[in-house]
A and B are shown apart, each in its own frame.
Chain A
Amino acid sequence: MLSFYGVYKSYSSPYFALSNINFKVEKGEFLFITGPSGAGKTTIIKLITREELPSKGKILFEGKDISAIPRGKLYSYRRKLGIIFQDFRLIPYLTVFDNVALPLILRGSGKQEIYNRVTTALKELEIIHKARELPPSLSGGEQQRVAIARAIAGNPDLLLADEPTGNLDPLLSRKIMRILQRINMKGTSVIIATHDQSIIDEFGEKVIFLSYGKIKRIKT
């Protein structure tokens, strides 16, 4: 489904944030990308979402080079992704329901479809009772669940999570991971960038270890 071929990324200096990155993610796979801070985990996520372009190499999604997608058509590619940010990035003046509905509104879904999908996602994340609340009134764990609900409401092909448990306590972290596992078992490919070793030890099936922008090893 997703392939990195000889990918390099440099930010206007001789130093490479990523060097010679090669890996594949098959459909339905659950992948961890780990490494110390500055290893390049978030850079990989940004390359996948096309927030950044590789300096060298190719990134293929369903066989198509995402660097070649014209700017005007990027929205179509991004709608196949679900993204969970470390800092949640919920819109504070929209209710929980509206935040989760956002990806569906953007793709022009009908009212009934939006209602059904959002309700399903909120129920799955056990946060339906907070549907009318505003994000600032929620706890960190609740906000992260809303962010996950938003990411899955549109049935993405690929779910990306950048440090999804970074702001959460260990108990909540495991709860979130089990939710992501359930989502993966339904067929969605999941890529999680994290430096939380305990999570990787417990849930990691396939893990890419990064160090100074290079792949140190891949555990399968």
Chain B
Amino acid sequence: MSFSVFFLCWFILIRNNVGYIVNKIEKGLSARVFLQDEITEERAEEILKRLKTLHEIEYVELVSKEKAKEEFAHYFPEIAEALGNDNPFPISIYIRLKKTTNSSENLLKQLNEIPGVKEVVYQRELFNSFKKLRVSIDYLGSFLSIIFFIASAVIIGNLILIHIAARKEEIYLLYILGARDDFIFTPFIIFSIFFSLIGATIGILFFKLSILIAEYLKGKFLPTNQLENENLFVILGLSILVGLIATIISTGRYSYEI
């Protein structure tokens, strides 16, 4: 159960983060027009004015070499520090396309043909890649989560069956003396709830610990969005539900023998 919960927490967290990136990209489908190294500021301004006239483009912004270096340093501070006074970043123009733009390929071709433009990087490919990644994560993560929780349910169910088998004579006697199913099996249900709760709590604690480690290594990894506490309570509830279902199936199998 601990492992199932640990895996589920990480699956949801990764999915949320990829979804966050997808949404952010989708909000502003953009491109970066990288200009040639030797270009002058005046020529860059001319290109900027020309791009503003294109009807497919919603927004343009000139990104100077200094600003480009600042953006890089935000994500990779150690590498930026290592660069010292060197600035290998070219001048670029950030453009945001209108959402209704469908003829992006023609636009890209047009941009590439502008004298002074070195390369155009369009984020739609990146967006599509992240979208595919999110779908893959959804399918794989959901499938694995279901498998792990089924495995947890089987383990809990078998544990309950072992306990019942160990007390078989006593349970049989209780039935003959007039006990109801709920009297006999309530202790097992309480046990499975407790067992699932402990297992899920351990899983969540390990998840929190792994988040702390990731936070500590923040400089080398992308920043992570945290899993909301509401999600954790839902996961706890799900674990208890899985344990309960497994117990009810196990006890149900046994109770009909008498």
Contacts and interface: CB of A to CB of B under 8 A. Distances in A.
B170 A78 contact: no
A100 to B, nearest CB: 11
Interface string A95-121: 000000011001100000000000000
Contacts of B169: 89
Contacts of B178: 75-76, 78-79, 81, 103, 106-107
A78 B256 contact: no
Interface string A70-106: 0110111011010100000101000000000011001
B258 A51 contact: yes
A104 B149 CA distance: 41
A41 B124 CA distance: 84
Interface range on chain B (Cβ under 8 Å from partner): 10 to 19
B177 A51 contact: no
B179 A106 contact: yes
Nearest to A46: B176
Contacts of A49: 176
B174 interface: yes
B170 A106 contact: no
A89 B177 CA distance: 11
A103 B180 CA distance: 11
Nearest to A92: B170
10 contacts: A51-B176, A72-B181, A75-B175, A75-B178, A78-B177, A78-B178, A79-B177, A89-B173, A91-B170, A106-B183
Nearest to B183: A106
Instruction: Please classify the interface of chain A as helix (H, G, I), strand (E, B), loop, or mixed, using the class held by over half of its residues.
Output: helix
A106 B176 contact: no
Nearest to A107: B178
Interface string B8-25: 000000000000000000
Contacts of B170: 91
Interface string B33-56: 000000000000000000000000
Given A79-B178, A91-B173, 6 more contacts: A72-B181, A75-B180, A78-B175, A78-B176, A102-B174, A102-B177
Contacts of B176: 49, 51, 78, 83
A103 B256 contact: no
B20 to A, nearest CB: 52
A149 to B, nearest CB: 13
A83 B178 CA distance: 11
A38 B168 CA distance: 25
Nearest to B255: A71
B168 to A, nearest CB: 12
A71 B179 contact: no
A131 to B, nearest CB: 19
A161 B224 CA distance: 71
B177 A106 contact: yes
Interface in B130-144: none
Interface string B82-126: 000000000000000000000000000000000000000000000
Nearest to A91: B170
A49 B178 CA distance: 10
A76 B175 CA distance: 11
* A-B pairs with lowest CB-CB distance, top 7: A79-B178, A78-B178, A75-B178, A106-B179, A75-B180, A103-B177, A89-B173
Interface string B160-177: 000000000110011111
